């Protein structure tokens, strides 16, 4: 733990002014990512996971961002647009759910990748173009020299996402943020893209922040997991710890409610009752309290504490968990899944 | 390909006369304008049966024709070939007027609950409209709407609210209540949970499961998520590029998939288990699904198939049982021996 983390986020809070009053989309969030590690940020819509990544990239205009975000020890909160432009693409890069929205329809993909290189390194046109072809080859696009001269609409969805990854990595950033990178893709193509991200991450020893709602994707590629609920951290731990013995009742509930290929189908799914919280009227206590089975069973006094007092993230058996009634490692029996099919 | 004799029953579903029977169903969309204009064969001679009270899952990736198939069955689209028989009667070319009595019997649940509910109507109105169209009185319709709201797990007091006042999961409950209003016998559900949050998905899956049992509904459940489909269906049909490549009882298809596409599809689903997930053997397909506007010759899966032989490039395999007596059918020249 002596290693200085590449990315360190402390007490990040993001507030949007809206017609209905301020909305605190992210509330006192802290985490760190080291080189060569992948942090999976999991949450449902409105949990603040995308806003967190936008805040790191400095892409939130019109929102109030407080707390601290440091990249290689350098503070990012409060930097000017000009200073951020020098870091974006060069030190940190981001890929989004819909690759078409990140690509310009009027330029060939080769020109778009080369542009990054020219802007950040002042490379000559020919050198930048050669680099673009190299990048396309690296992300597994066949016939890269020819494909570099084509336009985004000539690529399929999976190939477009490869182009966007090539573009993001063209200037060799240290940090890659991937916001739902495979959600718009078919499952067989998703498998290819996840494999690509994992391979590139290892080869380049990148720090990756992977934002997703899909626990299966997290299980496949992440080393560490941060579970968000209602703009706050619910739980953070290594991927093995989170799946083997979740400490937060929300994490447990999410895992229990998933239909799984390796489960028998006879019993109904154990759904979490209720709906995700509204950020307009946040609860004073734990955001999950109204849906929490543990709070409901713990008696009136404990329930009141959950509803009134906000739990602070604390270390419990290798997890960081924000809960008054965390599940212990023994309280959550975990039956390992049977042999997967096929 | 001409066929004088009517195609036989769906061998993957033995038993009495089915509620829904689909034969050689095809849909060709005319190509748009422009130089790459070409007719698109979205659905190509698809056939299956759905028994009374049964759920058939229809799975596949985007562009495989699963939604188009669903839309032809509820007759939002008129098929360009083949037939859809409901309760023994061919409904594939009925006029809108002739279809009206059938609308009571066949209902649809859509993917995005908010865009399928009229934002300017109250929940009471949304649910009673189908009843009013079918000739109920206003009082009866409202009473029935209140019953339905309770049946799908919402609070009856909320009946005079508007859709925007509900969350995604609640709105989908309203969509389900509307589909149930006319007491249908067949529900076509097109990706009914894929727009919902994970924690809410399970609620809706359980609700549909319960309603199906209580009301003995038949379901055609269209989805791309194999884990969800496994949970709800009795039988499953896997589509690829407009055709059914494998169809059969759920246990057979999920535990012993015979088509290479089904096998790779199942192995591509990430399991929420980091240890098992990393140890699992995976069949990674190359490339993307081809465009239905220019399908490959022979077996349309051959450019991505790990088992391609010469015959696969020239001859399209017919859907047939891989072994005698097997209640499952596979369209593959070299099905997995299972």
Residue A151 contacts B where some CB pair is shorter than 8 Å: no
Section B29-58 average pLDDT: 87
Q: Locate tokens 């703009």: which residue? A: A231
Section A285-289 average pLDDT: 94
What is the reported pLDDT for B4? 40
What is the reported pLDDT for A238? 96
> Over 50: is that where the pLDDT of B87 sits?
yes
Q: Locate tokens 């020239």: which residue? A: B314
Residue A260 contacts B where some CB pair is shorter than 8 Å: yes
Q: Locate tokens 């673009």: which residue? A: A132
Q: Which of B273, B275, B279, B303 to mutate to test the interface with A (most CBs of A within 10 A)?
A: B273
**B271 to chain A, closest Cα gap in Å:** 5
What is the reported pLDDT for A41? 97
With contact defined as beta carbons under 8 Å apart, do A208 and A197 qualify? yes
In this structure, the number of other CB atoms found within 10 A of the CB of residue B139 comes to 9
CATH class of B20-29+40-254: alpha beta
What is the reported pLDDT for A342? 35
Residue A195 contacts B where some CB pair is shorter than 8 Å: yes
Choose among A323, A320, A329, A333: nearest CA to A237: A320
Q: What percent of chain B has pLDDT over 90?
A: 71
Residues of B in contact with A157 (CB under 8 A): 288
> Over 60: is that where the pLDDT of B6 sits?
no
With contact defined as beta carbons under 8 Å apart, do A290 and A274 qualify? yes
The pair of three-digit structure tokens given for residue B270, joined into one six-digit string: 């990430």
Per-window interface: A 168-187 vs B, CB < 8 A? 186-187
CATH class of A1-73+213-260+278-329: alpha beta
Provide DSSP, B268-297.
HSPPS-HHHHHHS---PPPS-PPPTTSPPS
In this structure, the number of other CB atoms found within 10 A of the CB of residue B116 comes to 19
- Is the ipTM reported for this complex over the cut 0.85? no
β-pairing, B40-50 with A38-42?
unpaired
> Over 70: is that where the pLDDT of A25 sits?
yes
What is the reported pLDDT for B293? 82
Residues of B in contact with A181 (CB under 8 A): none
DSSP state of A106: T
> Over 90: is that where the pLDDT of B24 sits?
yes
Q: What are phi and psi of B223, to 5 degrees?
A: -160, 160
> Over 80: is that where the pLDDT of A292 sits?
yes
Residue B337 pLDDT level (bands cut at 50, 70, 90): confident
Q: What percent of chain A has pLDDT over 70?
A: 95
Q: What percent of chain B has pLDDT over 70?
A: 94
Residue B13 pLDDT level (bands cut at 50, 70, 90): low
Residues A65, A53: Cα–Cα separation, whole Å: 12
Task: Report CA Rg, chain B.
Answer: 21
Q: Do A260 and B272 touch (CB under 8 A)?
A: yes
With contact defined as beta carbons under 8 Å apart, do B46 and B66 qualify? no
Provide DSSP, A293-332.
HHHHHS-HHHHHHHHHSPPPPEEETTEEE--SSPPPTTTS
CA distances from A329 to A241, A249, A314 (A): 9, 12, 15
Which residues, in sequence order, are bridge partners of residue A38?
A208
Q: Do A240 and B228 touch (CB under 8 A)?
A: no
The pair of three-digit structure tokens given for residue B138, joined into one six-digit string: 């206003």
Residue A280 contacts B where some CB pair is shorter than 8 Å: no
> Over 90: is that where the pLDDT of B217 sits?
yes
pTM: 0.86
**B43 Ramachandran zone, left/alpha/beta (phi>0; psi -120 to 50):** beta
The domains of chain A are located at 1-73+213-260+278-329
Higher-confidence residue of A3 and B325: namely B325
The domains of chain B are located at 20-29+40-254
* SS3 category, A334: coil
pLDDT digits (tens, 9 = 90+) for A215-230: 999 999 999 999 999 9
In this structure, the number of other CB atoms found within 10 A of the CB of residue B68 comes to 25
What is the reported pLDDT for B325? 85
> Over 80: is that where the pLDDT of B338 sits?
no
Residues of A in contact with B263 (CB under 8 A): 342
Residue A335 pLDDT level (bands cut at 50, 70, 90): very low
Residue in B with minimal Cα distance to A158: B288
**B269 → closest Cβ in A159, A261, A272:** A261
* SS3 category, A163: helix
**A258 → closest Cβ in B264, B272, B284:** B272
pLDDT digits (tens, 9 = 90+) for B120-146: 999 999 999 999 988 899 999 999 999
Task: Provide the mean pLDDT of chain B.
Answer: 90
Residues A216, B270: Cα–Cα separation, whole Å: 4
pLDDT digits (tens, 9 = 90+) for A87-127: 999 999 999 988 888 899 999 999 999 998 898 988 899 99
Section B165-186 average pLDDT: 93
Per-window interface: A 46-105 vs B, CB < 8 A? none
Residues of A in contact with B289 (CB under 8 A): 186, 188
CA atoms within a 13 Å half-sphere pointing along the CA-CB vector of B151: 23
Residue B177 pLDDT level (bands cut at 50, 70, 90): very high
Residue B74 pLDDT level (bands cut at 50, 70, 90): very high
Strand ranges of the sheet holding B235-240, from the earlier edge strand across to the other edge:
B106-109, B186-190, B218-223, B55-59, B235-240, B243-249, B329-330
pLDDT digits (tens, 9 = 90+) for A173-182: 999 999 999 9
């Amino acid at each position: 733990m002596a290693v200085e983390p590449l990315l360190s986020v402390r007490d990040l809070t993001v507030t949007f002014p809206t017609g209905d009053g301020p909305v605190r989309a992210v509330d006192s969030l802290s985490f760190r990512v080291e080189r060569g590690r992948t942090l999976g940020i999991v949450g449902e819509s409105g949990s603040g996971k995308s806003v967190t990544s936008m805040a790191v990239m400095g892409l939130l205009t019109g929102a109030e961002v407080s707390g601290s975000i440091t990249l290689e020890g350098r503070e990012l909160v409060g930097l000017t647009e000009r200073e951020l432009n020098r870091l974006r693409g060069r030190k940190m890069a981001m890929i989004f759910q819909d690759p078409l929205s990140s690509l310009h329809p009027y330029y060939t993909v080769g020109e778009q990748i080369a542009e990054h290189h020219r802007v950040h390194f002042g490379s000559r046109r020919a050198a930048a173009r050669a680099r673009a072809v190299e990048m396309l080859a690296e992300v597994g696009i066949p016939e890269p020299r020819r494909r570099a001269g084509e336009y985004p609409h000539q690529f399929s969805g999976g190939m477009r996402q490869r182009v966007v990854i090539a573009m993001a990595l063209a200037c060799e950033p240290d940090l890659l943020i991937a916001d739902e990178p495979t959600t718009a893709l078919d499952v067989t193509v998703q498998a290819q893209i996840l494999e690509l991200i994992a391979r590139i991450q290892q080869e380049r020893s990148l720090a990756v922040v992977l934002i997703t709602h899909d626990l299966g994707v997290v299980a496949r590629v992440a080393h560490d997991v941060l579970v968000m609920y209602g703009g706050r951290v619910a739980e953070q731990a290594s991927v093995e710890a989170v799946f083997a013995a979740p400490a937060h009742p929300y994490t447990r509930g999410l895992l229990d409610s998933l239909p799984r290929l390796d489960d028998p189908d006879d019993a109904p799914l154990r759904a979490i009752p209720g709906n995700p919280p509204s950020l307009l009227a946040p609860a004073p206590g734990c955001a999950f309290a109204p849906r929490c089975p543990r709070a409901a069973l713990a008696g009136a006094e404990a329930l009141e504490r959950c509803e009134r007092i906000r739990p602070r993230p604390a270390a419990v058996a290798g997890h960081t968990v924000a809960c008054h009634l965390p599940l212990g490692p023994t309280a959550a029996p975990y039956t390992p899944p049977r042999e997967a099919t096929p | 390909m001409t066929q004088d004799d009517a195609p036989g029953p769906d061998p993957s579903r033995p038993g009495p006369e089915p509620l829904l029977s689909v034969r050689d169903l095809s849909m060709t969309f005319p190509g748009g304008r422009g130089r790459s204009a070409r007719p698109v064969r979205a659905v190509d001679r698809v056939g299956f049966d759905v028994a009374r009270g049964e759920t058939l899952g229809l799975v596949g990736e985007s562009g495989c024709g699963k939604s188009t198939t669903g839309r032809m069955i509820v007759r939002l689209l008129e098929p360009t070939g083949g037939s859809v028989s409901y309760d023994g009667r061919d409904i594939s070319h009925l006029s809108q007027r002739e279809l009206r009595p059938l609308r009571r019997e066949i209902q649809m649940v859509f993917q995005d609950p908010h865009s399928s509910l009229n934002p300017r109507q109250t929940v009471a109105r949304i649910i009673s409209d189908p009843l009013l169209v079918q000739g109920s009185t206003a009082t009866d319709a409202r009473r029935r709407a209140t019953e339905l709201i309770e049946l799908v797990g919402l609070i009856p007091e909320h009946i005079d609210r508007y859709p925007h006042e509900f969350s995604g999961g609640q709105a989908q409950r309203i969509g389900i209540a509307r589909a149930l209003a006319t007491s249908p016998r067949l529900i076509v559900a097109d990706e009914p949970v894929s727009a919902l949050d994970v924690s809410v998905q399970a609620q809706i899956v359980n609700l549909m499961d319960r309603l199906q049992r209580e009301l003995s509904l038949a379901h055609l459940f269209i989805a791309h998520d194999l884990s969800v489909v496994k949970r709800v269906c009795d039988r499953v049909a896997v589509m690829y590029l407009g055709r059914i490549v494998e169809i059969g009882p759920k246990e057979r298809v999920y535990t012993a998939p015979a088509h290479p596409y089904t096998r790779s599809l199942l192995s591509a689903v990430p399991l929420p288990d980091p240890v098992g997930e990393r140890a699992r053997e995976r069949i990674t397909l190359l490339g993307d699904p081809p465009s239905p506007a220019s399908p490959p010759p022979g077996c349309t899966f051959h450019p991505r198939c790990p088992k391609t032989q010469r015959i696969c490039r020239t001859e399209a395999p017919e859907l047939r049982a891989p072994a005698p007596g097997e209640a499952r059918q596979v369209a593959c020249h070299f099905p997995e021996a299972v």
